[in-house]
DNA sequence: ATGGCTCTCGCGGAGAGA
């Protein structure tokens, strides 16, 4: 079973590249973030033609998440309880025996901005939500977490510690989420690799390897026993002909 | 030291992203 997460930075802008990627990589389940599209405008027929069902929690202009799956999924949760004012950032479904949740975590903007405190609170809500719900043994939470888990996950290494995305306060909340029983599957598979999932559009960051690993697939312990491989699909961070890329690459995990 | 690019909305230029 192939699962994946991808912040596509606008569904309409990325639709043709997303279709190419689905056809080439053939994931069984995908969490998408930053649709920037209202739920009612989601083009279900485009994905149906490629063999995918979709569950969508959209919004005009910003945010928005969706789950694509080859087999029909059973919807479990739309939106993070108590955090509606933060926008459309969570959707969860059962796909076969796997509980699959995808999240678009708040950015926070700057340490001084009021959104930073809201980001920290949102993570506390996410942890509480994940902890209080009864979970199946096999559960995955994937998405754009907007936190660099470890200095190794930043091109700047530990020199970025203390900056937004790299603060103790953010990392403490991320660790608390893991404390509910989640494991970073890429890191579990490749303990020593430095690999990034996001590169700034500006300044040739991608080619200079100035990136961050902020797009993660977390899984419960039973999921790690099924882990066959984990990778970041850098090829799809590249422009393809006239098709522009997102600033995020897809992350892919294969389960036995 | 700063901004460097791309997206959305909507028709000019601003806000957001990370």
Calculate mean pLDDT across residues A19-44: 98
Which nucleotide in the DNA or RNA is closest to residue A36, CA to C1'?
A: B8
Please check whether strand B approaches the CB of A214 to within 7 Å.
yes
Please check whether strand B approaches the CB of A196 to within 7 Å.
no
| Global confidence as pTM | 0.97
Which nucleotide in the DNA or RNA is closest to residue A37, CA to C1'?
A: B8
Measured in angstroms, what separates residue A247's CA from nucleotide B6's C1'?
8
CB A232 within 8 A of CB A249: yes
Helix (H) or strand (E) holding A2: strand A2-7
Please check whether strand B approaches the CB of A208 to within 7 Å.
no
Please check whether strand B approaches the CB of A81 to within 7 Å.
no
Among A115, A253, A97, A103, CA closest to A186 = A253
The domain made up of A2-255 has a fold known as Deoxyribonuclease I; Chain A (3.60.10)
Distance of CA A183 to the CA centre of its chain: 14
Among A199, A220, A219, CA closest to A210 = A199
Q: Is A236 exposed, middle or buried (0-12, 13-18, 19+ CB in 10 A)?
A: buried
How much is the pLDDT for A133? Answer: 75
Please check whether strand B approaches the CB of A146 to within 7 Å.
yes
Measured in angstroms, what separates residue A205's CA from nucleotide B16's C1'?
19
User: What is the tens place of the pLDDT at every residue in A217-253?
Assistant: 999 999 999 999 999 999 999 999 999 999 999 999 9
Calculate mean pLDDT across residues A173-185: 97
Measured in angstroms, what separates residue A10's CA from nucleotide B11's C1'?
20
C-alpha A229/C-alpha A256 separation (Å) is 9
CB A33 within 8 A of CB A58: no
CB A140 within 8 A of CB A98: yes
C-alpha A231/C-alpha A254 separation (Å) is 9
Please check whether strand B approaches the CB of A5 to within 7 Å.
no
What would you measure as the largest C-alpha separation in chain A, in angstroms?
A: 47
Which nucleotide in the DNA or RNA is closest to residue A198, CA to C1'?
A: B18
User: What is the tens place of the pLDDT at every residue in A111-163?
Assistant: 999 999 999 999 999 999 999 876 669 999 999 999 999 999 999 999 999 99
Q: How confident is the model at residue A79 (pLDDT cuts 50, 70, 90)?
A: very high
């Amino acid at each position: 079973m192939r699962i994946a997460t991808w912040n596509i930075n606008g569904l309409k802008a990325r639709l043709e590249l997303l279709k190419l990627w689905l056809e080439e990589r053939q994931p069984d389940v995908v969490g998408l973030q930053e649709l920037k599209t209202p739920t009612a405008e989601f083009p279900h027929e485009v994905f149906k033609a490629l063999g995918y069902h979709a569950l969508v929690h959209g919004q005009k202009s910003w945010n928005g998440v969706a789950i694509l799956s080859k087999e029909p999924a059973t919807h479990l949760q739309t939106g993070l309880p108590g955090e509606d004012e933060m926008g459309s950032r969570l959707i969860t479904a059962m796909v076969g025996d796997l509980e699959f949740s995808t999240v678009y975590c708040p950015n926070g903007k700057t340490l001084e901005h009021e959104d930073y405190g809201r980001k920290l609170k949102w993570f506390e809500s996410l942890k509480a939500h994940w902890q209080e719900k009864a979970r199946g043994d096999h559960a995955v939470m994937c998405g754009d977490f907007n936190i660099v888990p470890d200095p190794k996950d930043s091109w700047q290494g530990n020199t970025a510690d203390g900056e937004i995305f790299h603060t103790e306060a953010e990392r403490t909340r991320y660790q608390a989420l893991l404390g509910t029983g989640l494991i970073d599957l890429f890191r579990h598979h490749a303990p020593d690799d430095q690999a990034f999932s996001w590169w700034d559009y500006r300044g040739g960051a991608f080619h200079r390897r100035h990136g961050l690993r902020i797009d993660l697939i977390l899984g419960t312990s039973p999921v790690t026993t099924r882990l066959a491989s984990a990778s970041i699909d850098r090829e799809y961070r590249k422009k393809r002909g006239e098709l522009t890329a997102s600033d995020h690459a897809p992350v892919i995990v294969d389960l036995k």
